[in-house]
Amino acid sequence: MPPSPTRHRVAVVLALVGVAVSVLTLHVTRQLVSVDGYTSFCNLGDAINCDAVLTSRWGSFLGLPVPLWAIAVFSLGVLLALPGALGATTVGFADLALIGIASGSLGFALVLAVISAMVLRTACLLCISLYVVIVAWFVAVAPLARRFQASDRAPWLQRRAAAHAAVVAGLLLSVAAGTVEAVRGPGTADTVAEVQAADPKFYDLYTKLPVLDANDVLGPAAHVKGNADAPVTIVEFSDFQCPACGHAFSDLRELVRTRPDVKLVFRHFPLDRSCNDRLQQQIHADACRAAAAAECAGRLGRFWEYHDKLFEHQNALDRDSLFRYARELGLDIAAFRSCLDDPATMDRIAADVAAGSRLGVESTPTIFINGRRVQGALDRPYYDFALVIEKDMLARPTEASRRGS
């Protein structure tokens, strides 16, 4: 490839765009963690929700926000591409490093995209913008490998094999590092001190969350699961069609199965205007009907089994499917149909929606842990951390009194 500053200049421009998008993403991330009730401009519901992605445990790498890492990488990319953009014709370390970090960025972006799609099941517009910039950056930078000499007589920094190795090494190392960090849990903790040591950021954020009166949050408590005498009560306002609620479902089910010190209360908050007039726009068109079906299964003594069916088949909540699940559970179909068509069933759901609105529920899932309001699902280890903190709070008389215990 003949020496030309054009490709380097394109790489500089794309890296600067990456810096700009990363700075905006970092600003949104900091607002989310420091401003109570803040909602970003790209929070458009469950399917597109920057807030859920940026505040998840995958929003940071080695303790620092991912956007901060992106700023550093793109800034370094600008510095490495600048000599070539200014007309330098010597092939050497700068080009080799530029190829390596562009490749590494692509690999890391791939890991984050898979997590967003497969684990969080939520898209982040800011993150997608960064992915697009990274792909374009890689496409612009990778062909620089052709400037390296194929001859074995050239110094190793100038050999084409070195450039190809930089591409492969960048991709493999970033994918490996991202995957290791993604699967690494925060560890376990049995005391508040251990929680603080394991994840001081979580402890600080969690203990600053608003605490509401437990009796107001609990409501009629029609659907309760777990140890009735458990010291910690989790009240979940949920939507059967919500992907994030589906993620919370599996973790909460496992939590109740394995922890005798917690009980779970389920309350409805469908993001469906047919039974939730608080919404500005329709989000989940089948959510109210699914909630009604769960209530009917509850009247027939099988609420939790039906609840599990709905979350396991979130993409099939049409009326025919709801009846199929009822048959699979052996419910009285005539009674189920009568209940589903009874306006009183929808009134029961509307009562939960009204209660949720009074308690500040705006999205699903919203979880109250002994009255402490958590917007969105926690990752599984953090429920255990929350239980440690809550039981420590209960041991303090003033805190117990404040919660109406």
CATH architecture classification, 6-183:
Up-down Bundle (1.20)
- Assign 2 a pLDDT band (cuts: 50, 70, 90): very low
pLDDT reported for residue 93: 74
CA–CA–CA angle 219, 224, 225 (5° rounding): 155
Q: What is the pLDDT of residues 268-292, one digit of tens each?
A: 999 989 899 888 788 888 999 999 9
* Window from 183-187, 333-337, 339-343 with minimum mean pLDDT: 183-187
Is the per-residue pLDDT at 390 higher than 90? yes
Residue-wise pLDDT for 36-83, tens only, equals: 667 788 877 667 888 878 877 778 877 788 999 999 999 999 998 998
The pair of three-digit structure tokens given for residue 149, joined into one six-digit string: 């000499």
What CATH class does 192-402 carry? alpha beta
Residue 197 has pLDDT above 70, yes or no: yes
Q: Quick check: 1 pLDDT over 60?
A: no
Mean pLDDT of 102-121: 84
As a whole number of angstroms, the distance between CA 189 and CA 186 comes to 9
**Residues forming CATH 1.20.1440.130 domain(s) in the chain:** 6-183
pLDDT range class, residue 308, cuts 50, 70, 90: very high
User: Is the per-residue pLDDT at 146 higher than 70?
Assistant: yes
Give me the mean pLDDT over the 121-125 stretch. Answer: 85
Of residues 403 and 313, more confidently modeled: 313
pLDDT given at position 318: 94
pLDDT exceeds 50 at position 182: yes
State the average pLDDT over residues 342-349. 93
Dist. CA 39–CA 45, nearest whole Å: 11
What 89-97 contacts at long range (C-beta under 8 Å, 24+ apart), as own/partner pairs, is 89/3, 91/147, 91/148, 91/149, 91/157, 91/158, 92/157, 92/158, 93/157, 95/144, 95/147, 95/148, 95/163, 96/157, 96/162, 96/163, 96/166, 97/166
Residue-level pLDDT at 368: 95
Name the band, by pLDDT with cuts 50, 70 and 90, for residue 90: low
**Could you tell me what percent of the chain has a pLDDT over 70?**
84
- Judge if the upstream peptide bond of residue 186 is cis by omega within 30 degrees of 0: no
Residues of the chain with CATH 3.40.30.10: 192-402
